[in-house]
Amino acid sequence: MSALSRRSALKRLGIVLASAGTMALVAGSPRAQGQAGRIIEIEARRFRFTPNEIKIKRGEVVTLALRAVDFPHGFNLPDLSIRADLIPGQVVTVRIQAVQPGRFAFLCDNFCGEHHEEMSGTLIVDT
């Protein structure tokens, strides 16, 4: 199965895996396989993510469980090549593992109204 068809198959199941690469976080790495780790629930609602600050430890595997409640929002963590469409009524899970400390901004990338530009947050990876 190609990476693309695997990804769309996973997406149908409500699972989105972030792509691995040279970024600070790697999802689906061998160590992360089979582990959900801590589950962090994030609610997306005009015009805020709750929580909008997420703290994880370097090396920790966590699953972000993202849920839009009022409108189709987007979740984009560009530094880490993570993005997902958040459809009201669905939970999208993204498994990530921190390999490098830092602060990484995330934002809504589906225009959702007047204060859309303010809909953002920070992933903080501590050592």
Binding site for Cu ion (CB under 5 A): 73, 108, 112, 119
Phi and psi, residue 82, nearest 5°: -115, 125
Q: Which is nearer to Cu ion, 104 or 106 (CB)?
A: 106
**Nearest residue (CB) to Cu ion, 43 versus 79:** 43
- Tokens 């189709």 found at: 72
Cβ neighbors of 77 (< 8 A, separation 6 or more) are: 18, 83, 104, 105, 106, 123
42 vs 119, which CB is nearer to Cu ion? 119
Min separation Cβ 35 and Cu ion, Å: 30
Q: Pairing relation of β-strands 120-126 and 53-57?
A: parallel
Neighbours of 16 (CB within 10 A): 20
Q: How far is the CB of 28 from Cu ion (least distance, A)?
A: 26
Instruction: Give min distance, CB of 113 to Cu ion, in A.
Output: 7
